[in-house]
Structures are given as C-alpha cells and as structure tokens.
Amino acid sequence: MSSQSKDKQGPPPSLYLPLEEKLYRVRYEIDSDHAHIRVDPEVCGQCREKVCTFICPARVYTQDPEDSNLVQVHYENCLECGTCRVACTRGGVIWSYPNGGQGVKYRFG
Amino acid sequence: MEDGRVKTDVIVVGGGPAGLMAAHRLAQEGLEVILMERGAYAGSKNVSGLLYATVLSEAIPDFEQRAPLERPVTRRSFGFLDDEVFSYLTFGSRDWASPPFNRTWVVYRAHFDRWLAKEVEEAGATVLEETVVDDLLYDGEGENRRVIGVRIRGEEEPFFADTVILAEGALGIVTRKALETLGGMSQTPQVYGIGVKEIWGLPSGVIEDRFHLESGQGAALEWIGSPFKGLVGGGFLYTGKESLALGFIAKVDSLIAAGIAPYDLMESIKAHPEIGRYLAGGELLEYSAHILPEGGLRALPKLSHHGLLIVGDAAGFVNASFYHEGANLAMASGRMAAEAVIQAKLIGDFSRGALSLYERMLSNSFVMEDLRHFRRVPEAQKVFPRLMDVLPARFCRLLVDLYQQSTEPKRVQQREAFRKMMEGIPKLRTIKDLWKLKGMIG
Ligand SMILES: Cc1cc2nc3c(=O)[nH]c(=O)nc-3n(C[C@H](O)[C@H](O)[C@H](O)COP(=O)(O)OP(=O)(O)OC[C@H]3O[C@@H](n4cnc5c(N)ncnc54)[C@H](O)[C@@H]3O)c2cc1C
Ligand code: SF4
Ligand code: SF4
C-alpha cells in the first residue's frame, strides 16, 4: 500500500472494545417512566434456547441471576433495531415503540 | 379541521426515505400532508450505508449542493478474505469522480433524514416529531373496511385523513396490525437480516491516504469470507468525510443457528488484519444496529387497501442480492404512492381500486423489476454458508499459490495449485450450489 510510510501496519492493538464501551458511545433519552420492552415470564420459563440473550446487539436481555429460567430486560440500552422481535419466535418479547422522542437518538446512524 | 376533528388529505407514518419522499411529492402538489415521526428528529432511529440517489435527484435536482453528504463513492472493492490469504477486485471510473458522481453517496442517516425532513417542511408538509402512531383507525366491516386515520400515543383524539401512507420501516408494528385487520399478509413469511455498524473517527487526510482517494472522494469496500464465519452475510466499509463506517449484514437466522452474538462478530471482524488496518489510530464514535427485510418478492404483502398504502421497508422493498439496496427503493415507492394519492384526490376516490394505481406504477418500475429479477435470492442465501466457507479461501489460495516463488517448473506449480483448489470439494453439489448462488447476481 502506498500509505505504508505514513500508517503503522499490522493488526492495530486498540480496536477491541467490550460492549459497554460501544454502548457508551450511543446517545439515548432514557425514559424512566416507561419500559418499552417486557418479557412474558410464563413463556420465557418454558424457553430453553433463550436466543434473546445473545442475538440482541445491545445485550438487553440477560439471564436472571435469581432464576436461570427467566431473563432480565435492560431496556434503556435498546438500539431499537428490531432483532429480538424477529428472533424470539415464542412470543416472549413484548416490545412497543418507546414514547415520542425517547430511546435511542443516533448522532450518525 | 372539520367539526373539531383534525382531518387532513394524507397522514404519512414514518420519516425515513420512503415517508419523506412521499410527503415531499404530495406537498409539492399542494395536498395537505402531516408526517409523523416517533424519533426526536427524522433519522434519529435510522441506520444504513450508501445512498443511491437517482430517485432523490428527480425530487430535489440540486440536492448535491444542499444535502449533508459525506463522500461520493468513486472506487469500489470486493474482497475475499481468509484467515491467511486475501484478494480484492477494485474498480471505478473517471466518470464516478465527477458530478453527478454516479449518484452514489455515503450518508449518515441522522444527518441526511433530518435535512430531508426540513426540505419536506419547506415544500409545505407538516412534520410532527416525537409522535408515535400506535394504530390505525377504521370504518366499515369486512371487504369494505377502510382506513380513516391514526391513533397517536398520548392523544385522546385520533387524527383523520383520506389516505394513510405507512412508511414505518422494517419494524413495522402498526403495519403488521393493519395487515392482520385488513388481510393481505404474504403466505411467505418475511425474513430479516441484521445490520450492525460502527463509526470510527479519523482525520480526512488519513482516510484519503489509506483508501487511495483524491481530496473529497470516497470508497466502498465489501467483503465475504472467513471473518463472517459461514453466516449468510458479509461486511462493508464506507468512507465518511472524517469517519469510517464499518459493519456487517447477516441473516438473523444464520446468527441464531451459529450461536454468534452480533457484538462478538463485530470484534472478530475488526481483528482481521485486512479490515482492522483501516481503522488503526481511529476512535469509536457510535455503535448502531437495525434489521432489514430480505424476503424479497414472495414476502411482499398487499400494498394498497381502502385509504391505505404501504411503502419502503414496511412493505419489504429491499433488494437483498449482492447489490443490497433499500433506501432508493424506499424513495421510489414513496414517490409512486404519492402519485397515486394525487390521482385519487383528483377523482375524490380513495378506495383500493383507485389507490392501486400505486401497484401498477411499481410494477412498471425498477422496484418490482429488480425484486422479480432477484426473486431467487432466498434460495441463493441457503447455499451461501456452504459455498462461502470454502470458495473465497480457495480462490485467494489459488492466486497466492500461482505466485508462490519456488524452483518448481510453472507447469507443476500450476497443476498443484489447481489441484489444491479443488481438493475435497464435492463437484456435483458445488455445481448445483453455484447454480443456486446465481440468484444473488440475477
Ligand atoms: C446496516 C444497514 C446498511 C444498509 N445499507 C444500505 C445501502 O448501502 N443502500 C441502500 O439503498 N439501503 C441500505 N440499507 C437499507 C435502508 O436502510 C432501508 O431500506 C431504508 O432505510 C428504508 O427506508 P424506509 O423509509 O422504508 O424506513 P426507515 O428508514 O426505517 O424509516 C422509518 C421511519 O419511520 C419511523 N417510524 C416507524 N414507526 C413509526 C410509528 N409507528 N410512528 C411514528 N414514526 C414511526 C422511524 O422512526 C423511522 O424514522 C441498509 C440497512 C442497514 C440496516
Ligand atoms: S424472550 Fe423469547 S427467546 Fe428470550 S427467553 Fe423469553 S421466550 Fe426465550
Ligand atoms: S430491539 Fe434490538 S437492541 Fe432493542 S432489545 Fe431488541 S434486539 Fe436488543
């Protein structure tokens, strides 16, 4: 590459970022009065795969430390991407749009 | 306002490219339009990559002077990546480097959609931000049921309109409810890809150096191969003015089957030296994600109903072939929906019959032409993992082996290189797979 003289080559050391670091760069309006995501404990209790816990790009769903059959929802990190809605085919995810102007507020998108 | 009710010609639900283009056209023709957007501003919820702007240029011929555009794409590359070896096909044209720049732009939707919403307001439409439409309002029963307005969260009174245009994008919660109420959901269920993206800040000079660009020009790189772990998907890297947009699009089902979390995939992509090198020294500015419908032609719902039209991603207008286009199809569908409403208004008939002019226009346009042409993409996607696991790697390896310096005669070296390329590949199945993969390219 012609840019060899200017750029340092080789795998850059500082690209790795844990999810917390990624989410830290996202701007949100957090609506503490309205959780726009809920899960149905009846449905989740029967669900073994728990795809929501790894398919969500913001790790909004995590295993409940009190009861490993259930999941907790950290709705305030939601990117409103829609993935959980199509990934959970059991109907465990109850997802509505956040209130007007609330939720994720991309600066680039 | 009639007897205290808010009543307008058209309500557009959603301020993405589809809704904004529809509202723009309608307002230009003097119709009374209210566009409702749930975000703090249009674009605040939206994610994409390149903008193919031919449709936009019909609506706003001088957009290049006014819109917040990052860089035009003056060179493109397709890369095959394996852990050890890589190869690129890079192409461009002198034409692409001068106006109108092949109408291909890197844009950030939070900037672009917001600007477009201002244009729409200037054309005479009302844009209501922070406004969530929760449901449609109906009148009549059965076959005669028609849409007469929308319900807005937190508002007692509904808003009425002769026609509602649903431009909700891929999440389409209201659209789904409407199709359940009115009928017309496709027999073939929609399938989705997830796009995940990171924006990295870098000085403009570094970007131009790294991508071999003249000042102000831009590059688009797309990859398939081992970093994408046999998923149905690939990666992209687009140059902004002082930032890079790196990301991937993969079928949600394929991620689930492989048990891979999107953020982990993002990290392993960056760890590939051929990808990571471009970001070196940069700083993460934003992380984003969005689904997109990839079911194509067969997953389209019924698009026109009494008092209702469905446009853009809400309808499923994404060309999921290797072209991966959606925003321009969204814009085109928005403009055609507007055209149908304008005609309906002239005759004062907003029934499905009158509004179905929209479907006839679509059918004669590149939107449906392309969806028909690429109707076999879903089948092609099925063989994708099997082929992508081996083909890019073998192809790169072939090139590298052909150029490997040794004292072997070239005849032996070439024979050995081709033998290694074919080794262990089941010929018949691969030929069949390749035939299906053809669906990706038309
Ligand atoms: C990572 C990624 C890369 C992509 N790359 C490309 C590319 O390179 N080229 C290309 O052409 N396409 C690309 N696409 C596809 C493109 O982004 C979409 O096709 C396009 O955005 C669809 O436009 P739309 O107007 O239909 O929907 P959207 O852009 O999703 O807009 C919908 C709008 O409606 C609002 N809304 C939704 N529901 C409501 C409601 N009930 N009430 C009020 N407001 C509501 C939303 O907030 C949003 O602003 C990409 C997509 C992704 C995810
Ligand atoms: S939300 Fe869906 S995927 Fe997650 S645990 Fe509940 S049922 Fe399972
Ligand atoms: S919409 Fe996306 S970010 Fe939000 S919870 Fe679902 S998968 Fe996670």
Summarize pLDDT for B158-177 with one digit per residue, the tens: 999 999 999 999 999 999 99
Percent of chain B surpassing pLDDT 70:
99
Cα–Cα distance list, B347 to B183, B261, B338, B341, B404 (Å): 26, 53, 15, 10, 73
pLDDT band at residue A15 using 50, 70 and 90 as cut-offs: confident
Task: Determine if residue B180 is left, alpha or beta; phi over 0 gives left, psi from -120 to 50 gives alpha, anything else beta.
Answer: alpha
CB B388 within 8 A of CB B322: no
pLDDT band at residue A8 using 50, 70 and 90 as cut-offs: very low
Distance CA B381, CA B368 (A): 20
Q: What is the DSSP letter of B405?
A: -
CB A64 within 8 A of CB A71: yes
pLDDT of residue B196 exceeding 50: yes
pLDDT band at residue B389 using 50, 70 and 90 as cut-offs: confident
Q: What is the pLDDT of residue B15?
A: 98
CB atoms within 10 A of CB B364: 11
Which residues, at least 6 apart from B418, have a Cβ–Cβ distance to it below 8 Å? B398
CB B134 within 8 A of CB B13: no
pLDDT of residue B37 exceeding 70: yes
CB contact under 8 A, A106 and B252: no
Distance A89 CA to ligand 2 centre (A): 8
CB contact under 8 A, B108 and A108: yes
Tell the burial category of B254 from Cβ atoms under 10 Å away from its Cβ (0-12, 13-18, 19+): buried
Distance CA B94, CA B398 (A): 31
Strands B308-310 and B159-166, by their bridges, are parallel
Indicate the residue of B252, B280, B284 with minimum beta-carbon distance to A87: B252
The residue among B195, B150, B144, B193 whose CA lies nearest residue B8 is B150
Distance CA B47, CA B154 (A): 27
CB contact under 8 A, B206 and A7: yes
CA distance A48 to chain B (A): 13
Pairs from B57-63 (Cβ < 8 Å, separation ≥ 24): B57/B100, B57/B103, B58/B335, B59/B21, B59/B24, B59/B25, B59/B331, B59/B335, B60/B24, B60/B119
Q: What is the pLDDT of residue B361?
A: 98
Q: What is the pLDDT of residues B419-442, one digit of tens each?
A: 999 898 888 888 888 888 888 888
CB B111 within 8 A of CB B41: no
Does residue B353 or residue B387 have the better pLDDT? B353
Q: What backbone phi and psi angles, to 5 degrees, belong to B33?
A: -125, 135
Residue A43, H or E segment: helix A41-45
Q: What is the DSSP letter of B214?
A: -
CB B15 within 8 A of CB B128: no
Q: Where are the alpha helices (DSSP H) in A7-107?
A: 19-24, 41-45, 52-55, 83-87
Report the residue of B279, B286, B294 to disrupt the A interface, i.e. the one with the largest count of A CBs within 10 Å.
B286
Longest dimension (CA), chain B: 92
pLDDT of residue A9 exceeding 50: no
The architecture of the domain spanning A34-109 is 2-Layer Sandwich (3.30)
Whether the complex's predicted ipTM surpasses the cut of 0.85:
yes
> Quick one: average pLDDT of A68-90?
97
> Quick one: average pLDDT of B255-260?
97
CA distance A104 to chain B (A): 6
pLDDT band at residue A12 using 50, 70 and 90 as cut-offs: low
pLDDT of residue B218 exceeding 50: yes
Tokens representing A31?
């609506």
Distance CA B394, CA B158 (A): 60
Using a CB-CB distance cutoff of 8 angstroms, which residues of chain B are in contact with residue A12?
276-277, 279-281
Cα–Cα distance list, B322 to B96, B224, B233, B441, B442 (Å): 20, 11, 10, 6, 9
Provide residues with CB under 6 Å of ligand 2.
A 39, 43-44, 47, 50-52, 61, 71, 88, 90, 92-93
pLDDT of residue B53 exceeding 50: yes
- When the pLDDT of each residue in chain B is averaged and rounded to a whole number, the result is 95
CB A85 within 8 A of CB B171: yes
Distance CA B368, CA B329 (A): 9
> Quick one: average pLDDT of B284-301?
97
Domain ranges of chain A: 34-109
CB contact under 8 A, B210 and A21: no
pLDDT of residue B328 exceeding 60: yes
Q: What is the DSSP letter of B190?
A: P
Cα–Cα distance list, B412 to B23, B64, B393, B419, B421 (Å): 66, 55, 21, 10, 14
Q: What is the pLDDT of residue B39?
A: 98
Does residue B385 or residue B314 have the better pLDDT? B314
Distance B170 CA to ligand 1 centre (A): 7
- Answer yes or no: pTM beyond 0.90: yes
CB atoms within 10 A of CB A47: 19
Distance CA B239, CA B210 (A): 10
pLDDT band at residue B319 using 50, 70 and 90 as cut-offs: very high
Q: What is the pLDDT of residue B276?
A: 94
Tell me if the bond preceding B100 is cis, omega within 30° of 0: yes
User: What distance lies between CA B72 and its chain's CA centroid?
Assistant: 17
Is A100's Cβ below 8 Å from some Cβ in B?
Answer: yes
Q: What is the DSSP letter of B241?
A: S
Q: What is the pLDDT of residues B103-147, one digit of tens each?
A: 999 999 999 999 999 999 999 999 999 999 999 999 999 999 999
Distance CA B46, CA A15 (A): 25
Tokens representing B165?
């245009």
Tokens representing B256?
């689930």
**Sign of the CA dihedral running B146, B152, B158, B160:** negative
Tokens representing B119?
């244009």
pLDDT band at residue B2 using 50, 70 and 90 as cut-offs: low
Distance CA B247, CA B228 (A): 11
